Structure 1
Amino acid sequence: MTQYLSWILGGLLMAGTAQAQTDQAQLVRPLGAADLNSNLARLSANPRDVDALIGAGEAALALDDPRAAAGFFARADTITSGNGRIKVGLARVNLKLQNPAEAVRLFDQAGRLGFADATILTDRGLARDMTGDQAGAQRDYQAALQRTPNDAELIRRYAASLGISGQVAAAERALEPLLYKSDRAAWRYRAFILAMNNQQVEARKVADQTMPAQLAAAIVPYMQKMPYLTAPQKAAAVHFGQFPAQTGTRIAPITPTPPAPGTPQVVVPAASVAVAAAPTNRPQSARARRAEQQRQRREAARLARAETPARVAMARAQTQRQAMPVVQPTPTPTPMVQPTPSPTPMVQPTPSPAPAQTPPAAIVPSVQASVPTPDPTPPPVREASTPATAVQGPPAPGFESVATVAPSPAPQTAPQPAMVQSVPAAPPQPDPEATRTLADIIRAIDVPEAERQARVAAVDLEEIAALQAARRAERQAAADKVKKAALAKAKVEADAKAKKEAEEKKKLADNPSRNWLQIGIGASKSGLAFTLNALRKKYDSLSAQDGWSASWGQTNRLLVGPFPNFARAKALEDKIKAAGGDAFAWKSSAGEVVERLGGQ
């Protein structure tokens, strides 16, 4: 399954459009093959030619044959160990073979030897990504982007590194130029960046829109496991299609890196920081926050209940203080009171409710005429029906004569509103509804008797037991079905594994390690047969040899043999070279497929 995923991801992340692949292959393959042949010809004349060894290694890397390149670079390093170009070649070989730690070491060694940094930034960034050093990788990518801002592969690698470090928004901004150009590889990178940050819905949507339906469905299970991979595993999965056989059971932590250039940073005012410092030092759980909020509400209600009587008493005292300066300097009530005889006992603080019975329309004009202060907001009608004693305290000095006018006839009661003129000057009395607490409201709830009666219908316990038994049977059947499917899947996987092992054994048996002489290369096997016939006419020593071919990166080897030992192959190599030809002895690995050429 892991190998199958590597095929899928490798094809997804490294493939462009079909036409672009064809054009690129037509340009790169002949060029790499020509460079390799040219350097091999130089090596046949001088096996210690360091420049030819480096050129052959770089050509082999261009042909996607890192193992052959490793041989050329290793031989060059043996001859000249202080060459930065050789170290870079070995570093790129290790990167191709997925040994990133050694690649980073060799890249750094090349830098210390004075090799130009600009040519290795992209590959060193990838190597650092695969070792989990996303901060270092992003520094390399940013420096490389300053030199080549339109390099699509570099942009995709940089975006993947940002995604691995959790900067999803910055990664999408980096990919935007490619997304606008409908770069399919960039869309696929976006899907994997979303998946590794556990944004599965968005990742699935991108996969469905940019991949064939069958491939999108096959890749979804692996995208769902991306958040559980470590940073190096994510880099290997995205860039090389390598997925570990086993993943963790928890989402892997993300190591933050410095924000990408252009990322907006939120500036928090100093006052806000000071206020928020206390809560952020000790994070609270949701339960603790709810308990604290309830405690604060209870405390606020308790303080409100305690403050309500005090506010009422203060309002009464303020009413008395404001009423005294208004009544004392007013001389008008005195001549109206003199002709009205009244008994003295009427000066008590509890007079008859005559002021309360006076209509509000008659009170307001009198108050406006006697009080020069601005009109206060008229109290609600509900307060107008309240007796005046509700807001009056003990009678202040000078109110005795005002109190004696209560029993006088109607035409002489005009001064009576003087008792009320202190009301508008006082603040409005607290609304009982506004000062009610939660406990008061709960105590005032009256539950109807009809709602107190139980309305639970009788239940058949046997029927409930039957339903529960049916549900248990359904759950058991579902569990059995899942178990059966798991066993069937395990059997299929075991059969596939056994079949694969049998194929590997057959492949090893059919293709043992053998000795050959390579006399050329070519992309077309039919062309190799034509080349072999031409070489047989030119060199008599090849006339008795059979022609074979073996895959070599993106091209094919033209071989003759096999020989019983390597010495026999070297002997024929010397003969061909003496005759002016180009050839070298080669030993195939066990299991490496070597096929006989047809039409020889």
Structure 2
Amino acid sequence: MPARNFALPLAIAAMTMSASLAGPLSAQQTAGGATSREVVQSLPTPEVERLRAALQRLATEAESVDALIDAGDASLAVGDLEASLGFFGRALELSSENARAKLGLASVYLRSRRPLDALQMFAEAERAGASTADFLDDLGLVQDLVGNNAQAQQSYRTMLATKPGDDETRRRLAISLAISGDRAGFEAALLPLLQRQDLAAHRARAFGLAILGDTKEAAALTGQLMPPDLASRMTPYLDYMPRLTRAQQAAAANLGIFPRAAEIGRDDPNIARVASSADRSAAKADDRLAPRGTPLGERTPARTSPATQQPEASSRLAQVSREQASAQPASVSEAFTELAGPVSASRRPGEGAVDITAIEIPRESREPPKPAPRAHPSRHWVQLATGRDRDALSFDWRRMARKAPDLLGERSPYVVRWGQANRLLAGPFPTQDAAREMVRALRQQGFDSFTYTSPAGEKIIELK
């Protein structure tokens, strides 16, 4: 994906490095300028040293892909996501199939609350030659962030099989097991860390207990770990944990990202589709393992009573009800107003869910029903870039159209909001295959892009 304004992230990174290198000074001066104390300067962290070294290389080798990737890794380590995005994006402009740059960009997406983009970028990194062993821990977290807990746990366990001392992966596994409702597995995963008095493990246990519904014990544990004022502010968040979706629970427990009040218990449609697909796959696997036929010693009843049919019907209704509830606005207090996060599908009906059992089923008619008109139907696009400044995105589009006039010259750019930023889109395309074909053609001309399917109701506007 093309990156923008590389000078700005470079400058930001340089200023961040300079500020970090400066450190606190304990010297005090008198009115005449005399120093009354010894000067004490803190040493830079290894991450800042790495960033400084990479920036020094870039000063003389501006087109060095390795230096850009090193700068991106170091910026990510110090928490400067914007600078990291710029460095990795520039590296991909110079080397569009660089596996290290793709892995770095996937990590930025993961920490920027963009799990679907991260999932796709991890897949591209693997196709470019990256070994999954290098990113199974982050891949597992991405899978948790899209509601695919079973696959996440498999990734964590594979990582721990080769790196049993990876405490962060063990904590992530424990949270994932709590989200799945496996309390015994959750406690067992954390036990070795708790025995070592690992503070982060105690924090993970507090979140896991809240996810499992034991909010009182979670609050009590938080009170033991934190100062009273901080614990009192944390308790309301723990109380809401059982109401969050699986993806939201993973984001809150692992990344400290809570949804806004209106998004509690609701999924972004794209994440909901991934979570729903994972649920169907798990259900099929369970169904294959279920015993068939009549148990030995029992007779097959001549007729199935309504009572025996009720559990299956009830489960189907519950599934539809969950899907309906995910489309309804949540009506809760503004506990999370200032904390933004990805939105994801609920495991239980939320407030305002439609009671589908009270809806009269329409009978079949001879004439096919006319579809209701949609102002903004779901459509297929190709995403070329992201950014907050639409004028800068317009500049990016003109630059790309000049470089690939046969692909983009006759098209118009479109944008859609993505959190606090915007997606720059080309399209719409009649099918997803047509969008993929455009991605392949753009890749041959040095552009890193990917397909994007807009959910029904999402307003996408032309970029003037």
Larger Rg: 1
- Normalising by structure 2, report the TM-score: 0.49
Q: Which has the higher helix share?
A: 1
- Normalising by structure 1, report the TM-score: 0.39
